[in-house]
A and B are shown apart, each in its own frame.
Chain A
Amino acid sequence: MPEVLDDNTRTQLGEILKELPETVKLVFFGQKPESPSCAQQRTILQEIAEVSDKVRVERYDFVKDRDKALEYGIDKIPATAVVTDRDYGIRFYGLTMGYEFSSLVEAMVLVSTGRSGLPEDFSALVGRIKQPVHIEVMTTLT
């Protein structure tokens, strides 16, 4: 598999990830035999992990590691869960390229710092939410 991230991106990424207060785990779910998109997503994650020792990749098979898939609530692949010791429930389904690459990096920074990045005055509104909520954002890579 050819390299996905160019040198420029690697350098920039290195700068950002260096600052991470807590190690980020990218939990990847694919399946053997590997589909092209699974292979590509796996490569992207590996390349991110190569840039910084603050990032670790864990790989699972959607079928063989069904328990793990259930634990992370994964229902389709390729899937990437962005977690630290804590799981804030952030998942990426499909390839994290293009625009979604920035979203992934942003998510890594957010979970690592443990801050949502929302203004303070939202806490009252957010505090009113007391039941499980599942948000799905449908995006495309461009």
Chain B
Amino acid sequence: MASDHIRADMVDASEFSTLSQKYNVSGVPKTIINGSQFIEGTQPIDRLFLEILKVVHPEEFEKLKSEVRAARGGRRVRNPNPEHIYEVAIVGGGPAAMSAGVYAARKELDTLMIAQEIGGQVNYTASIDNYLGLPGIGGKELTEMFREHVERYPIAQALGDEVVSIRRDEEHYVVTLKKGVGYRAHSVIYCSGKEYRRLGIPREEQFIGRGIAFCATCDAPLYKDRRVAVVGGGNSAFTAARDLVNFASEIYLIHRRDEFTADPALIRQVSKAGNVKILTNRVVRDILGQEKFEGIRIRPSGDGPGEDLKVDGMFLEIGLIPNSDPVREMVQLNEKGEVRINHRNETNLPGFFAAGDVTDVFEKQICIAVGDGAKAALAAHEYLLEHQLTQSKVKVGDAWE
């Protein structure tokens, strides 16, 4: 009642045993927010609102948290300064960048972190089972833990804007953001990760977040009792369809071939669901609706007449592409557009390092991004020492850390 946006159900767990099983109710009361976040037992009301905020407005929640942390003294982040020349600029805010941030800060490097958004792809992951020591941790939760760790150090942060280009001046690198600001640094650690591939159809960008979505784990509850399309044929498409089964009224899985690359067990599970229709050999051609997303026009992959599909949303699950555009002109990329690195995370440019999913590292995982971020920062530190570009007093290796 405190908010027009909140509706509340009191559910007798014994009467609705299927639902109780779905929510794994072993004790009552148990509170479920938007079908995903669970709170056991009776909690103070402020805790409940914080949990709600965490689910529906993670950015607001983060803001609130950093306000609290700053007030407590656990957060030492500084404002970015375009006049200053940093020793190292880290581009990105995912696991690779945050790990690089911790290692750079511990080498007392004068560090700037530039990222559109903290967390990267980890924010899109509901639960992570392969990060050592933290089985089953939530993606957002892991991001928060990473963030709290890196923000204990006095590094500067420029968040919320996109790097559009990086070039090398005589003395240093210049990192230019979309809004026009430029930051300078003697070295760069490039960790811009990957992002979801687009279809490349008209008006696609315009509808992102307003009908077109990428993260079914995050957005499935928004499509309760609605019709949605999922585009793709791999594990992520089938996982998205599976996440939607309990919410959407109808799910159309659209794939341009007639064979899937997803795991057979997953395909079987999804195909069995009564509300999933699989449409193979079809491509999405157009978006229906002017202001509002009203559906899509699909067409057979070869050729043939188009067909309109009335859906309220479309999830694009057609793979990921490296965010290497801002450095395309400057560093060597492989045929997939990934930044080429060696085992010291060096690129072909002196002082320009890269780590994580944006690189040609073998396999893309959080732990790999974290490991490579650390390596890149240590390599950058060594580079700065060798070229006498740092005031850092730390001369020894990190062997005992």
**Chain B binds chain A:** yes
Among B10, B19, B33, the one with the most A-chain Cβ atoms within 10 Å of its Cβ is B10
Which A92-136 residues have C-beta < 8 A from chain B? Answer: 92-96, 100, 103, 107, 110-111, 114-118, 122-123, 125-136
Q: A133-B7, A133-B52, A136-B9 are in contact. Are A90 and B31 (CB under 8 A)?
A: no
Least CB distance, A14 to chain B, in whole angstroms = 23
Q: Can you list 18 A-B pairs with a CB-CB distance of less than 8 A? A: A88-B1, A89-B6, A96-B10, A100-B12, A114-B1, A116-B1, A116-B2, A125-B46, A128-B60, A128-B64, A129-B53, A131-B56, A132-B222, A133-B5, A133-B7, A133-B52, A137-B29, A138-B19
Chain B residues with CB under 8 Å of A11's CB are: none
Cβ 8 A contact of A122, one of B15, B31, B46:
B46
When C-beta atoms are compared, the residue in chain B nearest to A37 turns out to be B15
Task: Please state if A91 and B12 are interface contacts (CB–CB under 8 Å).
Answer: no
Q: How many residues of chain A have a CB within 8 Å of chain B?
A: 42
Q: Mark B348-382, 1 if CB is under 8 A from A, else 0.
A: 00000000000000000000000000000000000
Binding site for B on A (CB under 8 A): 37, 73, 76, 78, 88-96, 100, 103, 107, 110-111, 114-118, 122-123, 125-141
Binding site for A on B (CB under 8 A): 1-3, 5-16, 19-20, 23, 25, 28-35, 45-46, 48-50, 52-53, 55-57, 60, 64, 221-222
Task: Please state if A73 and B7 are interface contacts (CB–CB under 8 Å).
Answer: yes
Task: Please state if A135 and B6 are interface contacts (CB–CB under 8 Å).
Answer: yes
Chain B residues with CB under 8 Å of A125's CB are: 46, 49-50, 53
Alpha-carbon gap, A141 to B14, bound state (A): 9
Task: Please state if A137 and B49 are interface contacts (CB–CB under 8 Å).
Answer: no
Cβ 8 A contact of A133, one of B10, B13, B55:
B55
When C-beta atoms are compared, the residue in chain A nearest to B1 turns out to be A116
Task: Please state if A128 and B23 are interface contacts (CB–CB under 8 Å).
Answer: no
Alpha-carbon gap, A123 to B20, bound state (A): 32
A-B contacts counted at CB < 8 A amount to 144
Q: A89-B8, A116-B2, A131-B5 are in contact. Are A138 and B30 (CB under 8 A)?
A: yes
When C-beta atoms are compared, the residue in chain B nearest to A89 turns out to be B7
Task: Please state if A111 and B1 are interface contacts (CB–CB under 8 Å).
Answer: yes
Least CB distance, A129 to chain B, in whole angstroms = 5
Q: A128-B64, A135-B6, A138-B19 are in contact. List 12 more A-B contacts (CB 8 A).
A: A88-B7, A93-B16, A114-B1, A131-B57, A134-B34, A135-B31, A136-B11, A136-B35, A137-B10, A138-B11, A139-B13, A140-B12
Alpha-carbon gap, A91 to B9, bound state (A): 5
Task: Please state if A139 and B57 are interface contacts (CB–CB under 8 Å).
Answer: no
Cβ 8 A contact of A138, one of B28, B34, B60:
B28
Chain B interface, >50% SS class: mixed
Pairs A-B, 8 closest by C-beta atoms: A94-B12, A89-B7, A94-B15, A116-B1, A116-B2, A136-B32, A138-B30, A93-B11
Task: Please state if A92 and B10 are interface contacts (CB–CB under 8 Å).
Answer: yes
Alpha-carbon gap, A107 to B9, bound state (A): 11
Cβ 8 A contact of A137, one of B5, B9, B50:
B9
When C-beta atoms are compared, the residue in chain B nearest to A123 turns out to be B2
When C-beta atoms are compared, the residue in chain A nearest to B2 turns out to be A116
Task: Please state if A122 and B8 are interface contacts (CB–CB under 8 Å).
Answer: no
Alpha-carbon gap, A103 to B12, bound state (A): 12
Chain A residues with CB under 8 Å of B31's CB are: 135-138
Among A76, A103, A129, A131, the one with the most B-chain Cβ atoms within 10 Å of its Cβ is A129
Task: Please state if A93 and B49 are interface contacts (CB–CB under 8 Å).
Answer: no
Task: Please state if A126 and B3 are interface contacts (CB–CB under 8 Å).
Answer: yes
Chain A residues with CB under 8 Å of B60's CB are: 128
Least CB distance, A101 to chain B, in whole angstroms = 11
Chain B residues with CB under 8 Å of A111's CB are: 1
Least CB distance, B61 to chain A, in whole angstroms = 8
Cβ 8 A contact of A129, one of B1, B3, B8:
B3
Task: Please state if B30 and A137 are interface contacts (CB–CB under 8 Å).
Answer: yes
Alpha-carbon gap, A129 to B64, bound state (A): 13
Alpha-carbon gap, A65 to B61, bound state (A): 40
Chain A residues with CB under 8 Å of B57's CB are: 128-131
Chain A residues with CB under 8 Å of B35's CB are: 134, 136
When C-beta atoms are compared, the residue in chain A nearest to B7 turns out to be A89
